[in-house]
Structure 1
Amino acid sequence: MYKFLLSVIFLMAALQPTQAVTTLPFAANAVYTLPLDDKAESAKIMQLITYIKTLEGASFIRNGSKYSCEEAAKHLQSKWEKHNDKIKTAEEFIQKLASHSGMSGEEYQIQFADGTTKPTAQVLLQELNRLQGK
């Protein structure tokens, strides 16, 4: 719950009432609007990185090696910090940075606690859709 509240606080800090894209109800009588700028997309990217970090019992597979999801989050965060001038949306972050190795071109994978493995891009797109209410 603590991590969720931090995500909400981070998102609310990016909110501006004049540039509406969509409305999000956070409290019973309050409606906030997402700004039509990079702050909203940055908030989504941070939420996706946090989501990876908090996957319990899962492993991140990069270039044939397994890493903890905390290590994966650090890796994705550093890639985003290095290339964020080229990334405008959360979908671009997933497609260009979080789905494959820039060195080998090999697809990143998430292996879940139950042993199933899915492409990281698929996992992150599903989470992005959930965040956007799709």
Structure 2
Amino acid sequence: MAHVAFGYLPILLFLGVALGLSGAFVALPMVVSRLTGTHRPDAMKLSEYECGFPAFEDSRSQFDVRFYLVAILFIVFDLEAAFLFPWAVSLNLTKWTGWLSMMGFIGELALGLAYAWKKGALEWE
């Protein structure tokens, strides 16, 4: 039984080194800042901020649903761009089947964009 457990030793060593290094990368800067005197909290440093300026409204206020729609559309078209490069590189292997399937994918995304545009998801007031 000890022979089987011995096979896991490299994995455990790797895990130990990874945990040690990640802990050092977190704890070492905090310890050094405390020892060198750069840790001087004041009211301005401890205040909450978002996007570079202090919050001026309640943090629990509701966002307009159009914000989420634009974010989802951005993610969809960003992923489309991420799929286009590997598709273009492998097009010589996939031939017409790969080309037709990608045209169907792009056509489906174009229909979704046209639908969102028609519904006014991209309009701001």
Structure-1-length-normalised TM-score: 0.26
Of Structure 1 and Structure 2, the greater strand share is in: 1
Structure-2-length-normalised TM-score: 0.28
Of Structure 1 and Structure 2, the greater helix share is in: 2
